[in-house]
Structure 1
Amino acid sequence: MNISIEYNIIIAYLIGLFLLYFLGWLLIVPRKFLLRIIINGIIGGLILFIINLLGKSIGLYIAINPFTALVAGFLGIPGIILLIILQYIV
C-alpha cells in the first residue's frame, strides 16, 4: 500500500511540474510576440520616415501612424508598396 501511495505522489509531482512549465510558457510567449510587434512597428516607422524624406521630391508622402508602421513592419517591402498604392487610390 505504501508503494502505490509513493507512485501517486510522484505522478502528482510530475503533473504539477508539467503544469508549472506550461503556465510559464504561456506567460513568456505573449511577451515575445508583443516585443516582436513593437520592434516591427518601430522598424516600419523608420522605413516610412526614410521613404517620406526621399519621396519629397516626387510628391510621395505616407502618413506615419501606428497602423501604417505595423503594416510596413509586418509585411516589409510588399507592405510599403501596398501603402503607396492605397495612398494613390484613396
Structure 2
Amino acid sequence: MGLLRGVARTAVVAGTATAVSNRVSRRQANRWAAQDPYAQQDYAPPPPQPAAPPAPAPSATDDMYAQLERLGRLRDDGVLTDAEFSAQKAKLLAG
C-alpha cells in the first residue's frame, strides 16, 4: 500500500502544479494583452505611409552646363589646350 500511496501523492502534486502553472500563464497573458494596443480586437494599426516620389532626374541642359563647366576648368588648369577645348565644346553642343 505504501507504493500506491506514493504514486497517488505524486499524481495529486503534479496535477496541482499543472493547474497552478496554467492559471498563472493565462493571467499573465491577459495582462500582456491588456497592455498591448495591437492585441485589442477593434484596433487596427495605422496604414503605412506612402513612399516619397523619387527625385527628378537632372535635365539634359543641366548636364550639358555641368560638362561645359568641367571642360572650362580643365582648360583653365592647363589639362586641355584651347583647340582641344573648342573641339570638345563643339562635340558637346552638337549632341
Q: Which has the higher contact order (CA 8 A, sep 6+)?
A: 1
Structure number with the higher helix fraction is: 1
TM-score w.r.t. the length of structure 2 is 0.43
